[in-house]
Chains A and B, each alone.
Chain A
Amino acid sequence: MKLPLDITKIQSFYTYLKSGTWITFPNIVFLLITAFSLIMILSGFVSAMNNSYIGDGVLRFLLLATGILFIIQTVKIRFKHHYTIKLLLPTICFIIILFLFAYFLPLFPPKYDLRPYEITASLLKFLVISIFLILTGLLSLSFNIRSFFGFTSKGKQYSAYIVLIFSILLILYPLIIFIGNITVNGIGGINWEFLTEDVRSHGQQGGIVKALIGTICLIIGVTVISLPLGIGAAVYLTEYAKGGIIVRIIRITVDILQGIPSIVFGLFALAVLVPLFGISLINGILVLSFLTLPIIIRASEEAILAVPGSIREGSYALGASKWQTIKRVVLPPALPGIITGGVLGLGRAAGETAPIMFVACVFLGAPHIPNLFAPIQALPYHLLTLIYYLGAYEVEQNAWATAFLLIAIVLLINAGSILIREKYRVEF
């Protein structure tokens, strides 16, 4: 594995550090501002996570100190390089914002009640401050780097790089919080009893085994129906029906299907399928197949179109017919992409609640052996019911555990699809 760092570069940097020549006034200012910015960002993250607040005094000190350091840096640069005021204007504005922020900080009450304005949310100080802190920290880092490198393209490049890295962290952060939260709360409820017993006593005791089986049945049923149909449709659209109005109509229909809200599918199933089959597993399978079919068609189309035309021509030139070419030369390299799309669609189907809640699910009493024409229990619906029961019964631990199980299944399915894609991917 190649190391991202160059040994000689590290060595020369180390000698540079040891020599002490780096201890100059501008460098110290730069480092101090960087340190303060990082403290701002970090404390923003931490206080948002812990519902805590770093304290007015500390914050004011941070902001004022950073502002003063920026003034020093800007003045020095102005004299050293004779930059115009126009170039330094953003930095000056930023310094003013820092001071304003520091000044108005204590005026913000811990909780700003908006109920007089008919708004049920209330602005919590720590949350607002943390967001401001993170943004301010990022901005000050960016300005700092730019000023230090003298507004050259090198400085802009570094500052953009740093801001991008932090943006990625910013995006990952809620995701990690979300998954972490559910895991921490839910994993305590996962035990043998939970996984192998049926639900009892309004979900307060027993487990989700029937719901798990129901979800698995749904996944299998949807695979059996939508995978062959979807791949077949994609092959037809890409290989046989070239252009023409029919293809455009089919494509538009597929796109529209993909955008329909899932509750509408539920209503359709309620009106059409329930009179036919009652509340039963087959309704759930059919409805979820409608949902996943567009996803599979899209993914399969993309995968098939990614196979270059030169490969097809090579096959034709050897005397293969169209179907032989599709079967032997086009589909095999497209298969990883098709399977990835299929698996992702299935992952979505596993977690859908709205389409199946009226037409296929019950909370308890489903038959022990899954029957196509009888109701099933399903994990998303189980969770929904537990949430309804939260006030009335002691179901909180089980609700967390069900949620954890659900996202564990979805994450496993997605991880599986990534593994398949990476293992069998063909580079052209």
Chain B
Amino acid sequence: MVKDMTNTKDIISTKNLNLWYDTKQALIDISMDMQQNKVTALIGPSGCGKSTLIRCFNRMNDVIDKCKITGEVTFHGKNIYSSSADAVGIRKKIGMVFQKPNPFPKSIYENIAYGPKIQGIKDKKKLDYIVEKSLKDAALWNEVSDRLNESAMGLSGGQQQRLCIARSLAIEPEIILMDEPCSALDPIATAKIEDLINVLKKDYTVIIVTHNMQQAARVSDFAAYMYLGKLIEFGKTKQIFEKPTEELTENYITGRFG
């Protein structure tokens, strides 16, 4: 494992993380450290465990039956899987955007305001401010500012995905997890979201799962290559793509399989 030696703090790490779906082991001994305010991409062929891994970071695997985890995931030094940790509280700091956009069947305003309202914010002016800011940060404000009270289901796929991103931003998380956010979108919408990721990393840490190698190369600072549940190589994106140290990584990058 290559570890970057610059002075930025590691914000989230895993240590000897193993995961079983029933009896099948999906993650084998994953240990990695991700840096703050950087974009880390998880790449690898289908079924290698990237989505499973990213869902561990905000304990979304808790909702799946028969899922067993050993090992640690440390967020700011504290293990989020310890028995005293609060899954709900963690998800307020680590947000997630899913592969298929999943807006709530409510108005655009209510979608964005959902997170803050859950946290207890009731003041209308404050909610208005948060909604506007989140939509602007997600580069969606100009397109929807005149129809905030219309149903979110009427937006196009790309707009819905940006809405979901705005929705995650509204709770001001520290990390944003993105599970193949562009795979259901057309190239233009994809480009808009990739631009957005570049802007987001100034204020947030982004971890993105992608099966699109070119996207990983465009968008990420660090890359982790996974294969069959194991972490094969982790390092700066430039290095992974130009001079991979492992043979498996090289095979994937050069397209021999995957």
Contacts and interface: CB of A to CB of B under 8 A. Distances in A.
Interface in B60-117: 60, 63, 65, 88-89, 91-92, 95-96, 98, 100, 102-106, 114-115
Interface string A307-322: 0101111111111110
Given A242-B65, A427-B153, A319 B102 contact: no
Interface stretch (B5-13, B19-27, B29-37, B163-171): B163-171
A329 B104 contact: yes
A157 interface: no
A428 B101 CA distance: 12
A426 B152 CA distance: 12
Contacts of A320: 88, 114, 118
B114 A318 contact: yes
B119 interface: yes
Nearest to A307: B105
A315 B102 CA distance: 10
A230 B198 CA distance: 50
Contacts of A321: 88
B58 interface: yes
Given A316-B63, A319-B115, A328-B114, A311 B168 contact: no
A314 B104 contact: yes
B91 A311 contact: no
A324 B118 contact: yes
Given A318-B95, A329-B104, A313 B63 contact: yes
A310 B161 CA distance: 13
A308 B65 CA distance: 17
A317 B88 contact: no
Contacts of B58: 317
Nearest to A320: B118
Nearest to B177: A317
Contacts of A329: 104, 114
Contacts, number: 65
Interface residues of B, number: 26
Nearest to A321: B88
A221 interface: no
B65 A318 contact: no
B105 A311 contact: yes
B65 A319 contact: no
Contacts of A333: 105
A311 B167 CA distance: 13
Contact of B104 (A243, A311, A319, A324): A311
Tell which of A320, A333, A426 has the most Cβ of chain B within 10 Å. Answer: A320
Contacts of B118: 318-320, 324, 328
Nearest to B90: A319
A218 B62 CA distance: 45
Given A316-B91, A328-B114, A310 B65 contact: no
Contacts of A328: 114, 118
A310 B98 contact: yes
B169 to A, nearest CB: 11
A317 B170 CA distance: 12
A316 to B, nearest CB: 6
Given A314-B164, A324-B118, A428-B105, A319 B63 contact: no
A308 B95 CA distance: 20
A317 B91 contact: yes
Given A242-B65, A319-B89, A313 B60 contact: yes
B159 to A, nearest CB: 16
B114 to A, nearest CB: 6
Tell which of B65, B105, B167 has the most Cβ of chain A within 10 Å. Answer: B105
Contacts of B114: 315, 318, 320, 328-329
A318 B98 contact: no
B55 to A, nearest CB: 9
A318 B168 contact: yes
A332 B88 CA distance: 22
Given A242-B65, A428-B105, A319 B88 contact: yes
Contacts of A332: 105-106
Closest 6 pairs between A and B when the two form their complex, measured CB to CB: A319-B92, A317-B96, A310-B102, A319-B91, A314-B102, A318-B115
Given A311-B104, A317-B60, A426-B105, 13 more contacts: A311-B102, A313-B102, A314-B164, A314-B167, A316-B63, A317-B98, A318-B92, A319-B88, A319-B92, A320-B88, A320-B114, A329-B114, A333-B105
Interface of A: 242-243, 308, 310-321, 324, 328-329, 332-333, 426-428
25 contacts: A308-B102, A313-B60, A313-B98, A314-B98, A314-B103, A314-B104, A314-B167, A315-B114, A316-B63, A316-B91, A317-B91, A317-B168, A318-B115, A318-B168, A318-B171, A319-B118, A319-B171, A320-B114, A328-B114, A329-B104, A332-B105, A332-B106, A333-B105, A426-B105, A427-B153
